[in-house]
C-alpha cells in the first residue's frame, strides 16, 4: 500500500463511523467544491454541462442529508449517465469525473446497501493528481519511484490543506442532520480539495 492509499485507508473508517446522512453530506460538499472545475472542463471539451441534472441531484442529496427521503432511482440513473466516463486528454478530466462521482456517492448513500466510505479515494484524487502533476509533470509515475513521489507529494502544502479540509468536513457533518448553513460551510471548507 502506497502513501496515498494509506491516507485514504485512515480516512475510510472515520467516514464509515458517520451516520449515512452525514456521509452523504460529506460527499455532496466535495462535489460542490469541485463543481467549478467540472464546468470549466465541460466548456473546454465542448460538452453540455448538464447543469439541470446536476442541480436537481444536488437538491435531492441535500434534502436527504438534511433528513429527507431516499433519492429516486431515476435521478441516480441520470447522474450515472452524465458522469464523465470516457477518458479525455483535456486538462481537468479527473476533477470533472470526481465531481460527479462524489455527487453519485452522496445520492447512493440513501440506499441501505451502499458504503459511501468505500469511495473515500475520490475525495482526494483530484489533489493527489494535481500535486503530482505540478511537482513531477505527470500524475502516475509508476513502480517504486511512485511511492517516493507520493511521499514527497504528501508534504506539499496544497495536499496537506486538502487532507485537513476532509478532516474539517468530517467534523462538520458529524451531527446526524446537516442543515443548509452547515452545508454551505462544508462547501467552503472543502474548497481546499480542488487543485
How many CB atoms are located within 10 Å of the residue 114 CB? 16
Collapse the DSSP code of 141 into the 3-class scheme (helix H, G, I; strand E, B; otherwise coil) and give the result.
coil
At residue 46, the pLDDT reads: 87
What is d(CA 193, CA 195) in angstroms, rounded to the nearest whole number? Answer: 6
Q: How many CA atoms lie within 13 A of 166 on its CB side?
A: 25
CA atoms of 45 and 33, how far apart (whole Å): 20
Domain that holds residue 150: 3-193
Name the burial class of residue 178, with classes exposed (0-12), middle (13-18) and buried (19+) by CB atoms within 10 angstroms of its CB.
buried
Q: What is the pLDDT along the chain (195 residues), one digit of tens a residue?
A: 788 888 999 999 999 999 999 999 999 999 999 999 999 999 998 888 778 999 999 999 999 988 888 889 999 999 999 898 887 788 889 999 999 999 999 999 987 667 899 999 999 999 988 888 888 877 664 544 666 677 778 888 999 999 999 999 999 998 766 777 688 899 999 999 999
Which residue carries 464546468 as its cell?
39
Q: pLDDT at position 141, please?
A: 47
**What pTM was estimated for this model as a whole?**
0.91
**For position 143, what pLDDT does the model report?**
45
Rounded distance, CA 28 to CA 195, Å?
A: 17
Report the CATH number at residue 23.
1.20.1590.10
Q: Which three cell numbers stand for residue 32?
A: 460542490
Q: How many domains does the chain have?
A: 1
| The predicted structure's pLDDT at residue 130 | 87
User: How many Å separate Cα 63 from the centre of its chain?
Assistant: 18
Amino acid at each position: 500500500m502506497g502513501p496515498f492509499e494509506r491516507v485514504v485507508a485512515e480516512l475510510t473508517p472515520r467516514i464509515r463511523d458517520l451516520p449515512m446522512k452525514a456521509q452523504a453530506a460529506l460527499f455532496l460538499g466535495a462535489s460542490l467544491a469541485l463543481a467549478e472545475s467540472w464546468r470549466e472542463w465541460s466548456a473546454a471539451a465542448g460538452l453540455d454541462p448538464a447543469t439541470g441534472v446536476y442541480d436537481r441531484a444536488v437538491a435531492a442529496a441535500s434534502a436527504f442529508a438534511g433528513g429527507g427521503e431516499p433519492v429516486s432511482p431515476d435521478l441516480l440513473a441520470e447522474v450515472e449517465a452524465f458522469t464523465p466516463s470516457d477518458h479525455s486528454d483535456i486538462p481537468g478530466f479527473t476533477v470533472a469525473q470526481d465531481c460527479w462521482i462524489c455527487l453519485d456517492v452522496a445520492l447512493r448513500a440513501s440506499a441501505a446497501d451502499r458504503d459511501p466510505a468505500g469511495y473515500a479515494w475520490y475525495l482526494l484524487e483530484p489533489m493527489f493528481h494535481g500535486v503530482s502533476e505540478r511537482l513531477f509533470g505527470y500524475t502516475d509515475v509508476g513502480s517504486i519511484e511512485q511511492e517516493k513521489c507520493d511521499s514527497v507529494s504528501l508534504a506539499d502544502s496544497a495536499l496537506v490543506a486538502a487532507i485537513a479540509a476532509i478532516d474539517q468536513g468530517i467534523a462538520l457533518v458529524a451531527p446526524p442532520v446537516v442543515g443548509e448553513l452547515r452545508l454551505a460551510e462544508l462547501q467552503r471548507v472543502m474548497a481546499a480539495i480542488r487543485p
